[in-house]
Amino acid sequence: MNTIEQQLWDYIDGNLDEFSKKTIEEKIESNAGIKTQYEELLKLNSAFNALDLDEPSMSFTRNVMESIALAPAPVAMKTKVDEKIIYAIGGFFIVSLLSLFGYVLYNSNLSMPKLGFNVTLNFNLDQYITPTVLYSFLFFDLVIGLVFLDQFLRKKFAQK
């Protein structure tokens, strides 16, 4: 599909590299047939450039503005996603993981018999894991879940 006409169009469109550009320029100069074809395409290109755009009805802008008046105002994505919420959720999970890690660590017996190293961390967490703590934990999870659901529904609504 690399006919002389295609090369001439590429030359007119300015899509050729320096080498190809010089080659086609030489062909135009040396070959009368190619020169005629080039001049014809150049005129055709000018005619295409002069194409008219169609005009919609006079009430077009008004109609669009009337239809958008019923739609919710668009909001930038940056304001849609509040960074504080992301940091709060991230922080919560980091604290949870660290707490779990601490719990496991304090309930383990660290012993290295060969080195005579024996540490028993007898840290009883049961006294802290009360129903109130558990309910608070679940309540916080529920709040986060609702925030996510709210954002998800808002996004769905905005897309419609």
Partner 1 sequence: MEQNTTDLALIQKVLKGETDQYALLVKRHQRFVFTLALRFSKNREDAEEIAQDCFLKAYKALGTFKQTAKFSTWLYTITYTTAMTFLRKKRLDTTSIHDEDTILQLENQTSSFNANGYERQDSHVFLNMAITQLLPDDAAIITLFYKGEQSLEEIGEALHMEPNTIKVKLHRARQRLKEKLQYLLKDEVKELL
Residues that bind partner 1 in the complex, under the rule CB under 8 A:
1, 5-6, 9, 15, 40, 43-44, 47-57, 60-61, 63-65, 67-68, 71-77, 80, 158-160
- In the complex, minimum distance from the CB of residue 23 to partner 1, in angstroms, rounded to a whole number: 19
Specify the residue, 30 or 67, whose C-beta has the smaller distance to partner 1.
Answer: 67
Residue 73's Cβ-count burial label (10 Å; 0-12, 13-18, 19+) is exposed
Specify the residue, 74 or 116, whose C-beta has the smaller distance to partner 1.
Answer: 74
- In the complex, minimum distance from the CB of residue 51 to partner 1, in angstroms, rounded to a whole number: 6
Query: What DSSP letter does each residue of 18-59 carry, written as one string?
Result: HHHHHHHHHHHHH-HHHHHHHHHHHHHHHHHHTPPPP---TT
- In the complex, minimum distance from the CB of residue 78 to partner 1, in angstroms, rounded to a whole number: 9
| Placement of tokens 């295409």 in the chain | 48
Specify the residue, 68 or 95, whose C-beta has the smaller distance to partner 1.
Answer: 68
The letter for the amino acid at 132 is T
Residue 13: DSSP 8-state: H
